[in-house]
Structure 1
Amino acid sequence: MAKPIISMGGLKAVIMCGMIVIILVGIKIAAEIIVPFILALFIAIILNPMIRRLERVRVPRVLAIVFVISLIVCFVVLLLAYLGTTLNELTRTLPQYRSSLISPLQTLEPWLQRAGISVSVDELVKYIDPNAAMTLVTSLITQLSTAMTSIFLLLLTVVFMLTEVPQLPIKLQQLMSRPVEGMGAIQRALDSVSHYLVLKTAISLVTGLVVWLMLATLDVRFAFVWALLAFSLNYIPNIGSVLAAIPPVAQVLVFSGLYEALLVIAGYLAINLVFGNIIEPRMMGRGLGLSTLVVFLSLIFWGWLLGPVGMLLSVPLTIAVKIALEQNEGGKKIAVLLSDVTKN
Structure 2
Amino acid sequence: MGGMTGQGPRRMLGLCAAILTAGALHWAEAVLAPVAFALFAIALAWPVHRAAQARVPQAAALLATVLVVLAVLVVLSLAIGWGFGRVARWVIAEAGQLQLLYARNLDWLEERGVATAALSEQFDTRQLVRIAQAVILQLQGVVSFLGLTLVFVILGLLEVEVTRRQLARLGRDRPALSALLRAAGRTAAKLRAYMLVRTVMSLATGLAVWAFAWLAGLELAAEWGVIAFVLNYIPFLGSLLATLFPTFFAALQFGTWQAAVAVFLALQAIQFLSGSYLEPRLAGARLALSPFMVLVAVFLGALLWGIPGAFIGVPALIAVLTLCEEFEGSRWVAELLSGRDPGEG
TM over 0.5: yes
CA pair 98-28 structure 1, distance change in 2 beyond 3 A: same
| Other-structure match for 1:119 | 115
**Residue 210 of structure 1: SS of its match in structure 2?**
helix
| Other-structure match for 2:135 | 140
**Residue 221 of structure 1: SS of its match in structure 2?**
coil
> Residue 82 of structure 2 contacts residue 223 of structure 2 at CA under 8 Å; is this kept in 1?
no
| Other-structure match for 1:269 | 268
> Residue 85 of structure 2 contacts residue 136 of structure 2 at CA under 8 Å; is this kept in 1?
yes
1:95 aligns with 2:107: no
> Residue 98 of structure 1 contacts residue 125 of structure 1 at CA under 8 Å; is this kept in 2?
no
1:188 aligns with 2:183: no
| TM superposition shift of 1:137 | 1.5
Figure out how many residues of one structure are paired with residues of the other and give that number. Answer: 335
| Other-structure match for 2:68 | 68
Query: Residue 72 of structure 2 aligns to which amino acid in structure 1?
Result: I
Q: Deviations over 1:234-282 (max 9, x none)?
A: 2333343222211211111122023432442233123113212332111
Gaps of 5+ in 1: none
| Other-structure match for 1:208 | 206
Q: Give runs of aligned pairs for residues 36-47 of structure 1, distance below 5 A.
A: 36-47=34-45
**d(CA) in 2 for partners of 1:105, 1:46:** 51
> Residue 34 of structure 2 contacts residue 146 of structure 2 at CA under 8 Å; is this kept in 1?
no
| Other-structure match for 1:159 | 154
- Which stretch has the larger CA shift, 56-65 or 280-289? 56-65
- Which stretch has the larger CA shift, 148-157 or 242-251? 148-157
1:252 aligns with 2:250: yes
Q: Give runs of aligned pairs for residues 191-340 of structure 1, distance below 5 A.
A: 191-256=189-254, 257-286=256-285, 288-340=287-339
- Which stretch has the larger CA shift, 63-72 or 249-258? 63-72
CA pair 249-57 structure 1, distance change in 2 beyond 3 A: farther
> Residue 234 of structure 1 contacts residue 241 of structure 1 at CA under 8 Å; is this kept in 2?
yes
CA pair 76-298 structure 1, distance change in 2 beyond 3 A: closer
Identity %: 25
| TM superposition shift of 1:134 | 0.9
> Residue 62 of structure 2 contacts residue 154 of structure 2 at CA under 8 Å; is this kept in 1?
no
**d(CA) in 2 for partners of 1:338, 1:295:** 9
**Residue 195 of structure 1: SS of its match in structure 2?**
helix
**Residue 324 of structure 1: SS of its match in structure 2?**
helix
> Residue 183 of structure 2 contacts residue 322 of structure 2 at CA under 8 Å; is this kept in 1?
yes
CA pair 242-24 structure 1, distance change in 2 beyond 3 A: closer
| TM superposition shift of 1:12 | 5.4
**d(CA) in 1 for partners of 2:149, 2:283:** 28
**Residue 236 of structure 1: SS of its match in structure 2?**
coil
> Residue 55 of structure 1 contacts residue 64 of structure 1 at CA under 8 Å; is this kept in 2?
no
**d(CA) in 2 for partners of 1:30, 1:123:** 41
Query: Residue 285 of structure 2 aligns to which amino acid in structure 1?
Result: R
Query: Residue 87 of structure 1 aligns to which amino acid in structure 2?
Result: A
CA pair 232-4 structure 1, distance change in 2 beyond 3 A: closer
**d(CA) in 2 for partners of 1:136, 1:69:** 31
Task: Give the TM-score, by structure 1 length.
Answer: 0.81
> Residue 281 of structure 1 contacts residue 287 of structure 1 at CA under 8 Å; is this kept in 2?
no
CA pair 295-21 structure 1, distance change in 2 beyond 3 A: same
Query: Residue 172 of structure 1 aligns to which amino acid in structure 2?
Result: L
| Aligned-pair Cα RMSD in Å | 3.3
- Which stretch has the larger CA shift, 24-33 or 51-60? 51-60
- Which stretch has the larger CA shift, 273-282 or 98-107? 98-107
- Which stretch has the larger CA shift, 179-188 or 246-255? 179-188
**Residue 313 of structure 1: SS of its match in structure 2?**
helix
Gaps of 5+ in 2: none
| Other-structure match for 1:26 | 24
- Which stretch has the larger CA shift, 297-306 or 90-99? 297-306
**d(CA) in 1 for partners of 2:190, 2:73:** 27
CA pair 273-57 structure 1, distance change in 2 beyond 3 A: farther
**d(CA) in 1 for partners of 2:151, 2:270:** 36
Q: Deviations over 1:18-50 (max 9, x none)?
A: 444433332232222211211222233333445
